[in-house]
A and B are shown apart, each in its own frame.
Chain A
Amino acid sequence: MKDENWQEQILPLLPPQLRAIFTSLPAALAASLEEIRLRAGQPLMVQSGRGEVWLGLAGPVTALGESCRITAADLQHILLQMTEYSLYARDEELKRGYLALPGGHRAGFAGRVVMEGNQVKLLRDINALNIRIARQFKGAALKILPHVYCDKTQRVRHTLLVSAPQAGKTTMLRDLARLLANGDQQKGRPGFKVGIVDERSELAGCFRGEPQLDVGVRSDILDGCTKAEGMMMLVRSMSPQVIVTDELGRAEDARAVEEAVNTGASILATAHGQNARELIRRPSLAYLLENGLFERVIVLSRRHGPGTVEDIYTGHSLQEWLRAGRECNVD
């Protein structure tokens, strides 16, 4: 993990006027910043742990009229800085709507999409930008580790972390990967060979191939690779004991998870959803859950801050939870 703070990594990418605003940000707000939201023609907004904050030239403001307005030129400037004046160098990432930044941060984009057949060819005329500040909370997953790792059998259980967006799934998954890859000699927990399929560069935050976030000493990272293909590549080439991947959802993901499980690797994954009803509405997740491929489902929320563990389902309780979800869907 790079030990520079986010301001050193993000501010050089901003136009001078915005840079000045963020340089003079109150320390408490800077420390809790999660997102910087920039929309053409709209006020400058940031999301912190305490909620939304509008920013004016002199700092936080309460009246929208006093906030700094973002222009299309500001967005274009930031895009060119992020790509080093070379859109072609990042066009695969841009097609997926995001860019990985130094320090493990990410920028998501919205704008005019140019399609070619069913594929996104280009994202141009950017009108909105969301810079997500990466924060690593080492030890965040310690509270769920005993549910994921079985001391007796010394194996990692197939586990699915579930939550609505921004509830800390990825942070938790990254820390689980780190803890499992490092092991703990004092507690007699061995280090596992962890294969990470990081389709959107969120888990390890790779920038130019180098992980910007700590995912452990025994982690092998496939960066920018689709989950289904990546899981199979890892199984073929890196003999992982644990496969870690973010945001399962497509049919091919489910097939790859099934294949990987059959090779003996343990799967740690996340999925969007707040409850069983939402999860089993998605056929691929329903297939995995109904067939018992996941031994643990851990539901997270932001109730007491990101990473709040709401429930941990296993065995019978997992079946009950799924049954309740099915019944809700029927109703």
Chain B
Amino acid sequence: MWIKWLGAVLILAAALMWGNLQAAKLRARVRELEEFRLALRLLAAEIGYTATPLPRALEQVGKRLGNQGVQAFLAAVRQQLQDPQTADASTAWLAAVHSVKPLLCLTPEDWAVVARASAGLGGLGRDDQLKQLAAAETQLAAQAVEAAALCASNEKMWRYLGALSGLTVVILLL
């Protein structure tokens, strides 16, 4: 009999974890989008105030971010830029999107917005570069608002769903 109860507890715990994981992904997506927005704002500050070249600007921005995933993304762009075969900064940015995608909780739509931030990167004059980054940041902000709304409405649902699905399975098995 105790094996049955042990199995039920394990099933319930696994279901709760699955629900919490889905809820955590929703929260992480919002955090990551906000962190990308911050990264673009900091990058714009590096470009606007000190005209720091991209490799050093990305390094500086990376140091000031809290999210390891976004830090990894900026490091990947920087690494691409150190390769003399890289055609331009836009190519480096898109390659980093491809390599870091599995590490973050962003949706394909979010990545499309992040990828669009590469347009003209490093290939424009200072004023135009700042306008381009501001436009990308605005798009990310809209994406972050949508992600936050989704998180607020669905976070609890995923937790309950995890608990309830676990209970359902346990009841059915018992």
Interface residues of A (CB under 8 A from B): 12, 16, 77, 80-81, 83-91, 121-122
Contacts and interface: CB of A to CB of B under 8 A. Distances in A.
B127 to A, nearest CB: 8
Contacts of A89: 47, 51-54
A119 B4 CA distance: 82
A112 to B, nearest CB: 14
Contacts of A122: 125
B125 A85 contact: no
A89 B126 CA distance: 7
Nearest to A121: B125
B55 interface: yes
B66 interface: no
Given A80-B88, A81-B84, A86 B125 contact: no
Given A83-B53, A88-B126, A91-B125, 4 more contacts: A87-B124, A88-B47, A89-B54, A122-B125
B92 interface: yes
Contacts of B84: 12, 16, 81
A83 B57 CA distance: 13
Contacts of A77: 87
Nearest to A81: B84
A86 B47 CA distance: 9
Contacts of B52: 86, 89
Contacts of A88: 47, 51, 122, 124-126, 128-129
B7 interface: no
Contacts, number: 55
Given A12-B84, A91-B125, A122-B125, A85 B47 contact: no
Given A91-B126, A122-B125, A84 B53 contact: yes
Contact of A86 (B54, B87, B128): B54
Q: Which of A16, A80, A86, A122 has the most CB of B within 10 A?
A: A86
Contacts of A85: 53-55, 81, 86, 88-89, 92, 122
Contacts of A80: 88-89, 122-123
Contacts of B87: 77
Nearest to A12: B84
Contacts of B122: 80, 83, 85-88
A89 B124 CA distance: 10
Contacts of B129: 88
Nearest to B122: A85
A81 B87 CA distance: 10
B67 to A, nearest CB: 24
Interface in B134-166: none
A83 B56 CA distance: 12
Q: Which of B55, B57, B87, B122 has the most CB of A within 10 A?
A: B122
28 contacts: A12-B84, A80-B88, A80-B89, A80-B122, A80-B123, A83-B53, A84-B53, A84-B56, A85-B53, A85-B54, A85-B81, A85-B86, A85-B92, A85-B122, A86-B52, A86-B122, A87-B123, A87-B125, A88-B47, A88-B51, A88-B122, A88-B125, A89-B47, A89-B52, A91-B125, A91-B126, A121-B125, A122-B125
Nearest to B92: A85
Nearest to A123: B125
Contacts of B88: 80, 85
Q: Which of B57, B124, B125 has the most CB of A within 10 A?
A: B125
A12 B82 CA distance: 11
A16 B122 CA distance: 22
A117 to B, nearest CB: 15
B54 A84 contact: yes
Nearest to B121: A85
